[in-house]
């Protein structure tokens, strides 16, 4: 019998162990000592064989099952670009002080697609090897160029069998043409609500009246189109966060019960205010507090609130096919199934890469809509887009569930070979996975209630809380 | 109060001490480490950190052994999947 290599990490008084295929269990420190010393007992060996953590012969059922699970975790869902982020204008009518994206003043000239760029964008979309497309309009404020959005949408509806459109807008100013644009079922609004009125005003609008105007517009949107057509994200400064109860209540007001908490991402122009000492630690604490809050609230009411990214991580841990989120995939190839088209037609692998080029940090552009993609650059980036061989990750119990974010590493540190535990990505995800496993292995009824509702299961398996002696 | 720590390494782990110490020096550059046959020494350790240092040294050696002895299995898996 051979045991697939196990990674491990302290989990309270016990040890959490996992293998490369994402099978995991908890055990006593004595088990770890026996395993590392090659002195497993007969009971240990029976357990490992029975649970698929070991095999007898190459090609037997246990071997094949492990190989399947290993492969399934490393399969990205699509093979062709079918998600395109379009930036028809950099101009914006707000100037949030931490704005992640490069922006230009509303009245600035030369920051919109030209007629030639629009033609080339449509030709680029036409050349994609897919019959389904999702277009995400970003900016700047994309609704400042509704004409360009209409041109793209009309084209995609003709060109693709299935098309879907998301407009990322601050939704401060709307008129009849904009309401009419959103009336179609294939078009969604994605906006930002940073919690309570005071926080949103401080972070974004600078005026209570403007914040109230946004909330009023969103209420009208909900009345006109119903729930499910609008999503929103809060951007949170962990050193000056909103009231979390109020944040949940604000989102509930708009029928949004899946909340994606997003820490301020001090990249691009936001680098003018560097990350403060202790900011990540504060973020990790705040996130854990938010999870505890919604677990408590979910216990007392029918409508269940989730934190979107945390639920995604739970799905990854439990092998529920959650391999598509570009913030946490392994491998995480750039330019493989999504791409960003900037206001001048330049192609970028991610929005963060666009920011870095804009501020002159590094040019990670991968071509343009006229000449197509520069695959040599894409391939060079992708040679490091997985964590299996990373000298730190290969020892980490969370490696099979985690991912890589090359662009984030380059943006923050100017390199991709920093020891993992020194990176923002690693420190953030260690905290998230610690929290996730603490909950998965918990016997607390309230915790299990939320887990069941988030993941759509009837009862929580008792085996998850068992500890191998 | 600081102490000098000597951690006995069982013989079956001796082959993995070099790699483990190299990795510990990278993970904890402030630790003053040396090794002798069957022994890892860490000097000038705060008394309150002794259990942590002992555990980290043991874990590093465990991890190097698992990585080293698991390499053929990982290679076998990749060959099985890729061919």
pLDDT in tens, A46-70: 999 999 999 999 999 999 999 999 9
Check: complex ipTM more than 0.90: yes
Q: Using beta carbons and an 8 Å cutoff, which residues of A are at the interface with B?
A: 2, 4-8, 10, 20, 32, 36-38, 58-59, 63, 66-67, 70-71, 391, 394-395, 419, 421
Domains of chain A: 1-73 (no CATH), 83-227+331-377 (3.20.20.70), 277-329+391-469 (no CATH)
In chain B, residues with a C-beta closer than 8 Å to the C-beta of A63 are 80
Domains of chain B: 2-82 (3.30.1360)
Give the pLDDT confidence score for residue A383 in this predicted structure: 86
**Residue A458: exposed, middle, or buried by beta-carbon count in 10 A (0-12, 13-18, 19+)?**
exposed
Give the pLDDT confidence score for residue B75 in this predicted structure: 95
Closest chain A residue by Cα to residue B62: A36
CA atoms of A401 and A316, how far apart (whole Å): 6
In chain B, residues with a C-beta closer than 8 Å to the C-beta of A394 are 67
Tell me what percent of the residues of chain A surpass a pLDDT of 90: 67
Closest chain A residue by Cα to residue B79: A67
Return the minimum-mean-pLDDT range out of A75-89, A259-273, A330-344.
Answer: A259-273
CA atoms of A7 and A26, how far apart (whole Å): 12
Give the pLDDT confidence score for residue A102 in this predicted structure: 66
pLDDT in tens, A248-292: 999 999 999 999 999 887 665 555 555 667 889 999 999 999 999
Residue by residue, DSSP assigns A84-153 as: EEE-SB-EES---TT-SS--EETT-SS-B--HHHHHHHHHHHHT-S-SEEEEEE-SS-GGGGHHHHHHHH
The DSSP bridge partners found for residue A32 are: none
Of A8, A36, A66, the CB nearest to B65: A36
In chain B, residues with a C-beta closer than 8 Å to the C-beta of A38 are 12
In chain B, residues with a C-beta closer than 8 Å to the C-beta of A4 are 70, 73, 77
Confidence of residue A238 (pLDDT cuts 50, 70, 90): very high
Whether the pLDDT of residue A103 is over 80: the answer is no
pLDDT in tens, A7-18: 999 999 999 999
pLDDT in tens, A160-190: 999 999 999 999 889 999 999 999 999 999 9
In chain A, residues with a C-beta closer than 8 Å to the C-beta of B65 are 36
Number of H helices, E strands in chain A: 16, 21
Whether the pLDDT of residue A139 is over 90: the answer is no
Confidence of residue A389 (pLDDT cuts 50, 70, 90): confident
Whether the pLDDT of residue A101 is over 60: the answer is no
CA atoms of A134 and A111, how far apart (whole Å): 24
Give the pLDDT confidence score for residue A270 in this predicted structure: 53
Least Cα distance to A138 among A352, A416, A318, A334 occurs for A352
Q: Kindly give the pairing relationship between strand A338-341 and strand A347-348.
A: antiparallel
Selected residues 4-23 of chain B with any CB under 8 Å from a CB in chain A? 10, 12-13, 23
pLDDT in tens, A341-364: 999 999 999 888 888 888 888 888
Distance of CA A223 to the CA centre of its chain: 29
pLDDT in tens, A196-214: 888 988 888 888 998 999 9
Whether the pLDDT of residue A77 is over 60: the answer is no
Q: Kindly give the pairing relationship between strand B32-36 and strand A306-307.
A: unpaired
pLDDT, average across residues A68-82: 81
CA A289 to each of CA A261, A282, A284, A307, A432: distance values in angstroms, whole numbers, following the listed order = 12, 10, 9, 12, 12
A/B interface, count of CB pairs below 8 Å: 47
pLDDT, average across residues A94-117: 81
In chain A, residues with a C-beta closer than 8 Å to the C-beta of B70 are 4-5
Whether the pLDDT of residue A142 is over 90: the answer is yes
83 residues of chain B, pLDDT tens digit each: 899 999 999 999 999 999 999 999 999 999 999 999 899 999 999 999 999 999 999 999 999 999 999 999 999 999 999 88
Give the pLDDT confidence score for residue A45 in this predicted structure: 97
What does the block give as tokens for A190?
């994605």
Distance of CA A271 to the CA centre of its chain: 21
Question: Per the CB < 8 Å rule, is A5 touching B67?
Answer: yes
């Amino acid at each position: 019998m051979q045991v697939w290599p196990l990674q491990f990490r302290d989990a309270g008084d016990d040890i959490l162990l996992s293998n490369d295929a994402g099978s995991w269990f908890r055990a006593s420190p004595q088990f770890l000592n026996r395993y590392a010393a090659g002195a497993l007992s007969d009971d240990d060996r029976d357990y490992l064989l029975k649970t698929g953590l070991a095999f007898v012969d190459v090609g037997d059922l246990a071997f094949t099952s492990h190989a399947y699970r290993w492969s399934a975790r490393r399969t990205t869902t699509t093979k062709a670009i079918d998600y395109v982020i379009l930036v028809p204008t950099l101009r914006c009518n707000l100037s949030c002080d931490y704005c992640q994206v490069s922006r230009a003043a509303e009245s600035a000239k030369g920051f919109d697609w030209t007629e030639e760029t629009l033609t080339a964008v449509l030709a680029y979309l036409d050349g994609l090897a897919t019959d389904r497309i999702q277009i995400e309009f970003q900016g700047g404020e994309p609704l400042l160029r509704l004409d360009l959005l209409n041109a793209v949408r009309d084209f995609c509806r003709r060109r693709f069998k299935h098309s879907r459109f998301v407009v990322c807008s601050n939704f401060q100013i709307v008129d009849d043409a904009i309401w009419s644009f959103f009336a179609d079922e294939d078009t969604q609004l994605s906006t930002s609500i940073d919690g309570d009125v005071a926080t949103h005003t401080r972070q974004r609008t600078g005026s209570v009246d403007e914040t109230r105007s946004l909330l009023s517009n969103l209420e009208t949107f909900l009345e006109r189109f119903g729930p499910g057509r609008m999503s929103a994200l809060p951007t949170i400064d962990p050193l000056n966060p909103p009231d979390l109860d109020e944040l949940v209540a604000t989102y509930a007001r708009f029928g949004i019960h899946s909340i994606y908490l997003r820490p301020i991402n001090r990249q691009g122009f936001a680098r003018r205010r560097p990350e403060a000492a202790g900011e990540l630690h504060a973020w990790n604490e705040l996130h854990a507090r938010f999870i505890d809050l919604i677990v408590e609230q979910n216990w007392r009411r029918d409508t269940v609130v989730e934190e979107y990214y945390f639920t995604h991580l739970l799905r990854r841990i439990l092998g529920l096919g959650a391999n598509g989120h570009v913030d946490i995939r392994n491998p995480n190839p750039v330019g493989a199934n999504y791409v960003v088209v900037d206001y001048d037609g330049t192609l970028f692998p991610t929005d963060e890469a666009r920011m870095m080029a804009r501020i002159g940090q590094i040019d990670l552009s991968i071509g343009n809509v006229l000449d197509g993609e520069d695959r040599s650059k894409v391939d060079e980036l992708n040679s490091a887009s997985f964590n299996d061989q990373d000298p730190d990750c290969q020892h980490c119990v969370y490696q099979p569930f985690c991912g890589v974010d090359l662009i984030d590493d380059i943006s923050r540190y100017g390199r991709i070979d920093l020891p993992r535990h020194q990176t923002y990505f690693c420190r953030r995800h260690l905290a998230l996975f610690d929290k996730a496993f603490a909950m998965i292995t918990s016997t607390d009824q309230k915790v299990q209630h939320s887990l069941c509702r988030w993941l759509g299961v009837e009862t929580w398996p008792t085996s998850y809380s068992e500890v191998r002696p | 109060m600081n102490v000098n720590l000597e951690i006995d390494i069982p013989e079956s782990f001796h082959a993995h001490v070099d790699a483990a110490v190299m990795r510990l020096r990278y993970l904890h550059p402030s630790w003053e480490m040396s090794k002798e046959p069957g022994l890892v020494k860490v000097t000038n350790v705060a008394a309150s950190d002794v259990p942590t240092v002992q555990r980290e040294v043991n874990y590093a050696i465990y991890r190097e052994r698992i990585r080293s002895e698991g390499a053929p299995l990982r290679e076998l898996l990749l060959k099985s999947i890729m061919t």
